[in-house]
Structure 1
Amino acid sequence: MNPAPLPAADMDARDLRVFDAVRELLARHGMQMSMEAVAQHAGCSKQTLYSRYGSKQELMRRVVERHVCRATAGLRGLREDDLRGSLMQFATDYLDHFNQPHVAQACRMISADAAQFPEEARSLWRDGAGTLTLHLAEWIESAIARGQLRHDDPHFMAELLISMIGGQDFDRQRFHMPHRDDAGTRRRWAGFSVDSFLRAFAPAASPQPHSNQLRSFS
């Protein structure tokens, strides 16, 4: 049985060293990363890793879970009435994260290994992109309930927004083409994506009474 996930408050310097080692090794070796290599990079024993995290899959899940929590922090931390500000924080955090060189390289390595490790790849997708989309959909659903967005399918809306934010930038990175590698350019794209999304799903305006209806009450 795998141990329960560690609450953020229970993470210590050892956890951070282990998670940093996993991120670095995923960028180098993809899913062929070994627990022995993680232990060497983190300065601990394999026995410590297995006793604390249970398995390599569980360790990778926790690293991805931490990334998702950080990516959605902007949605949880801002006021409910600051819809654009919340989405801008989410969009810029998302773009900044995936533009880190080790993250982009890890994504390339994992994609290359997906056919060889299909179960692990599916788990990473569920715990990463799938969970991120679910959290965003829940946040969008609450905004719909508050009347801030048009009533529609929140899961479709979340997937569409993430696609708009990502654009073609990650494909450009994969093919080693010029991409949005500075914060200012990323922020401008984030603003364009968020504003386009908000225009597309703006709440329907209240219907105005017809002129004949106005005269009937005079």
Structure 2
Amino acid sequence: MQPAPTPSPALQRRLRVHEAVRELMAEQGFRISMDAVAARAGCSKQTLYSHFGSKQELMRSVMQEHLDMATAQLDDGQGDIRTVLLAFAVEHLQRLSDPHVVTTCQLLSAEAAQFPEEARTLYRDGCDTLQQRLAGWLALAMRRGQLRLDDASWAAELLLGMIVGLDFERQRFAFPHRDTDALRRRWAEYAVDAFLHSFQPLAASGHA
């Protein structure tokens, strides 16, 4: 097996910057500054502006990386519909169980009223885009006859809600939650199977 290629200096710098942003958001929320990111990432503020242009674009870049990883299972296109959706669901639950993610969401929720425009932008670049990507994949499955024809955007929102359930809220409020891979997978299977049962093609469900 060939060893993985060494990331280029530019990619290594981008990864350091993204990691710095994630860490700082868990600590400072919307108050994060380019100065703080530069200091944490070990680069100059001029370098950040040269590569990202603005704080908003830097945040969008971090969110884009997160979404690319979150939807990688959908992009792969391998396996049947249940296999793909189950892999997506398990990955989604694992990411939402990351302590950094939970802490960041708690802080951002508390600050949303103070930073309404930043909060709306973060929602559009994160939650809304995730729903759109999932909706696009579900729409394709509907056209292929793997799911019954329906509103793909609503179906995506429903599926995301089923996958997460109340577990993220349990974590936000420090209540016992599904904290192991086995528990998260069991719930993911339950949610995906319930969704597929509800959206099975009409012919398969016995309707004319």
TM-score (norm 1): 0.88
Give the C-alpha shift of residue 182 in structure 1: 0.9
Q: Given the alignment of the two structures, is residue 114 of structure 1 paired with residue 98 of structure 2, yes or no? A: no
Deviations 1:4-62, CA, capped at 9 Å, x for gaps: xxxxx996100000000000000011010111111011000111111111111111111
Superposed counterparts of 1:24-173, under 5 Å: 24-79=23-78, 82-173=80-171
Question: What is the Cα deviation at residue 112 of structure 1?
Answer: 1.1
- Structure 1: how far apart are the matches of 2:161 and 2:9? 34
Aligned to 1:205: 203
Q: Determine the C-alpha separation between the residues in 2 that align with 1:11 and 1:160.
A: 39
How high is the sequence identity, in percent, across the aligned residues? 54
Match of 1:188 among 186, 190, 195: 186
CA contact (8 A) 1:28 1:106 kept: yes
* Partner Cα distance (1:208, 1:125) in 2: 39
Give the letter aligned to residue 177 of structure 1: F
Q: Which residue of 1 aligns with 2:3?
A: none
Equivalent position amino acid for 2:104 in 1: A
Once residues 137 and 165 of structure 1 are traced to their aligned partners in structure 2, the CA distance between those partners, rounded to angstroms, is 15
Give, in angstroms, the shift of residue 201 of structure 1: 0.4
Amino acid at match of 1:23: R
TM normalised by structure 2 equals: 0.92
In structure 1, what residue type is equivalent to 2:29?
G
In structure 1, the gaps of 5 or more residues are 1-8, 210-218
Structure 2 unmatched runs, 5+? 1-7
SS of the aligned residue for 1:160 comes to helix
Structure 1 outlier segments of 4+, above 4 Å: 206-209
Q: Which has the larger radius of gyration?
A: 1
- Whole-angstrom distance in 1 between the partners of 2:193 and 2:175: 26
> Cα–Cα, structure 1 residues 33 and 203, in superposed 2: closer, same or farther, change >3 Å?
same
* Secondary structure in structure 1 of the residue aligned to 2:187: helix
Distance 1:11 1:138, change over 3 A: farther
Evaluate the alpha carbon distance shift between residue 121 and residue 11 of structure 1 in structure 2; reply closer, same or farther with a 3 A threshold: farther
Does the Cα contact within 8 Å between 1:78 and 1:85 map onto a contact in 2? Answer: no
How far apart in 2 are the matches of 1:10 and 1:112?
37
Aligned residues: 201
1:123-178 C-alpha deviation (Å, 9 max, x unpaired): 10000000000000000000000000011100000000000001001111111101
Quote the Cα distance in structure 1 between the aligned partners of 2:83 and 2:49. Answer: 41
Provide the C-alpha distance between the structure 1 equivalents of 2:149 and 2:9, rounded to a whole number of angstroms: 39
Tell me how far apart the structure 2 counterparts of residues 54 and 116 of structure 1 sit (CA, whole Å).
24
CA contact (8 A) 1:17 1:42 kept: yes
**What one-letter code is carried by the residue in structure 2 that aligns with 1:60?**
M
1:3 alignment partner in structure 2: none
TM-aligned CA deviation for residue 78 of structure 1: 3.2
The 3-state SS of whatever aligns with 1:12 is: helix
